[in-house]
Chain A
Amino acid sequence: MYIDPHAHMVSRTTDDYEAMAAAGVVALIEPAFWVGQPRTFVGTYVDYLSSLVGWERFRAGQFGIRHYCTIGLNSKEANNEALAEGVMEWLPRFAMKEGVVAIGEIGYDEQTPLEEKYFRAQLALAKELALPVMVHTPHRDKKRGTSRSMDVCEEMGLDPSWVVIDHNNEETVRETLDRGYWAGFSIYPSTKMGNARMVDLLRHYGGDRIIVDSACDWGISDCLGVAKTARLALASGIDEQVVRQVTYANALCVYGKSEQMHESDWLDPPGIDQRTLYEGNSILRGGREPRIEHPDRHAADDLLID
């Protein structure tokens, strides 16, 4: 069983959902982010947030995966002040919805004053609503940007054990862990972390407070990042307990603080019935045969037949 605690499923296909479920992903978290080009209306942003708590959550369920999300104004779009002000007004309403496990992904892109302003405002919101935080660390000037993100969290009075610093690498992980934060690693080809490097890091740091995610999105990325890393780690002799921590238990521990994510959600799941509708709409097209499965995990474990 795996949790992928960072996956932008609005950009992924149904094949991906099927592949993830088959690989053992039982739950995932979809952070609110930008979508490849900046939105120019508050309304389009609001509809995006609606889809995270609505249609996408339903769609994942149709493939047997439990879907959670984080709500936030990302750093890139924070630089459009008119948009940002409008989105900030809407955030509290979305942050309190069912299945929202954190404020995120928020933080820095180019480390501008506007990014800082809305980062701080959202940290205050997370604190007020008692939600964990997912911090996106910048690609450019990464090391300083990561340190600065943690400085700001502390200045805003956040407890590091409620904050995941994501997209770490070999150069940032030591400080992230030393300061008491959760250290996320995105297994994303070419730009972020590779899974062979991740295995080396697990060998060095163990599994405490380390979280592996795929960050799969609309770019060239792999929705099986978590499952493949787990397999590679096990094949490389990493302790099974460590693998379980970083691909399952740690994410549940920190995002579970929201009280919106429970192990029973997937251990005792509703059946898959693709005849189900969401606001009148189905994932089925053209008279396709629906998949209907009753959860049988428990039945398989049950020795008594009566």
Chain B
Amino acid sequence: MRAVFEVIAHGNPYPRDHFDLHRWNHMVLKALFIGSRLTPIVGIDQRHNPELARILLEYADERWAAGRAVTPELWRCVGPCVDALGAYAALQRALAGSPAERLAAGLALSQTDTPSARHLLTSVPETAALIGTGRIGWNNLHHYEAI
């Protein structure tokens, strides 16, 4: 099942070029539900949209309420809509998580040019400094898990 899904979802420009918004969003959600990575999805950044960000933010809340982990990759799709969705409380929670979660939340906040985002980033100076070096990005989050 997962292998078949990834044949379509990973390394393939077709969904980016042809899926409508609803189909695209549900492909991304399905990836999370079956434990598949988001990074190999072609167009994951270009096709970000507020609807997907909202769904993901609610999904993170649901996971936390159930005492389950939230994949750091999720914040990549929330990043461009942090301010519009008022996602600061969720990102603050992610900043207190695993190293990869902290970096992911830091990256999402660094994309957001608002006083609240800057304030949150100052609460994690080491993470902010690492992001500031430009060496950390969505595609190599897991290389920095030890930090």
User: Which residues of A24-81 are within 8 A (CB) of B?
Assistant: none
| Interface membership of B62, Cβ < 8 A | yes
| Interface membership of A245, Cβ < 8 A | no
Q: What is the minimal beta-carbon distance from B41 to any residue of chain A, in angstroms?
A: 16
A193 vs B67: C-alpha distance in the bound complex, in angstroms? 11
- Given the contacts A139-B33, A140-B26, A141-B29, A170 and B66 also touching, CB distance less than 8 Å: yes
Tally the A-B contacts, defined by beta carbons under 8 Å.
38
Complex partner residue of A143 from B26, B33, B58, CB under 8 angstroms: B58
CB-CB < 8 A to B59: which residues of A? Answer: 140-142
| Interface membership of A269, Cβ < 8 A | no
> In this complex, what residue of B is CB-closest to A171?
B62
Q: What is the minimal beta-carbon distance from A167 to any residue of chain B, in angstroms?
A: 12
- Given the contacts A110-B26, A112-B22, A143 and B67 also touching, CB distance less than 8 Å: no
Q: What is the minimal beta-carbon distance from B97 to any residue of chain A, in angstroms?
A: 19
Q: What is the minimal beta-carbon distance from A143 to any residue of chain B, in angstroms?
A: 5
CB-CB < 8 A to A142: which residues of B? Answer: 58-59, 62
CB-CB < 8 A to A112: which residues of B? Answer: 22
Give the interface residue-count category, chain A.
Answer: 10 to 19
| Interface membership of B61, Cβ < 8 A | yes
CB-CB < 8 A to A256: which residues of B? Answer: none
Give the secondary structure class of A's interface. Answer: loop
Q: Could you mark each residue 15-32 of chain B with 1 if its beta carbon is under 8 Å from any beta carbon of chain A, else 0?
A: 000000010011001100
A139 vs B55: C-alpha distance in the bound complex, in angstroms? 11
Q: What is the minimal beta-carbon distance from B70 to any residue of chain A, in angstroms?
A: 14
CB-CB < 8 A to B55: which residues of A? Answer: 140-141, 144
CB-CB < 8 A to A141: which residues of B? Answer: 25, 29, 55, 58-59
CB-CB < 8 A to B30: which residues of A? Answer: 140
Give the secondary structure class of B's interface. Answer: helix
| Interface membership of B65, Cβ < 8 A | yes
CB-CB < 8 A to B26: which residues of A? Answer: 110, 140
How many residues of chain B have a CB within 8 Å of chain A? 14
Looking at B26, B33, B61, the one whose CB has the most chain A CB atoms below 10 A away is B26
CB-CB < 8 A to B33: which residues of A? Answer: 139-140
> In this complex, what residue of B is CB-closest to A193?
B66
User: Which residues of B91-135 are within 8 A (CB) of A?
Assistant: none
A197/B58 in contact, CB under 8 A: no
Q: What is the minimal beta-carbon distance from B59 to any residue of chain A, in angstroms?
A: 8
B29/A143 in contact, CB under 8 A: no
* The 6 A-B residue pairs with the shortest CB-CB distance in the complex, in nearest-first order: A170-B65, A140-B29, A141-B55, A143-B58, A171-B62, A110-B26
Chain A interfacial positions (CB closer than 8 Å to B): 110-112, 139-144, 169-171, 193-194, 197
Name 25 A/B residue pairs within 8 A (Cβ), A-sorted: A110-B22, A110-B26, A111-B22, A112-B22, A140-B29, A140-B30, A140-B59, A141-B25, A141-B55, A141-B58, A141-B59, A142-B58, A142-B59, A143-B58, A143-B62, A144-B55, A169-B65, A170-B62, A171-B61, A171-B62, A171-B65, A193-B66, A194-B66, A197-B66, A197-B67
Question: Other CB < 8 Å A-B pairs besides A112-B22, A140-B26, A194-B67, 16 of them?
Answer: A111-B22, A140-B33, A140-B59, A141-B25, A142-B59, A142-B62, A143-B58, A143-B62, A144-B55, A169-B62, A169-B65, A169-B66, A170-B62, A193-B66, A197-B66, A197-B67
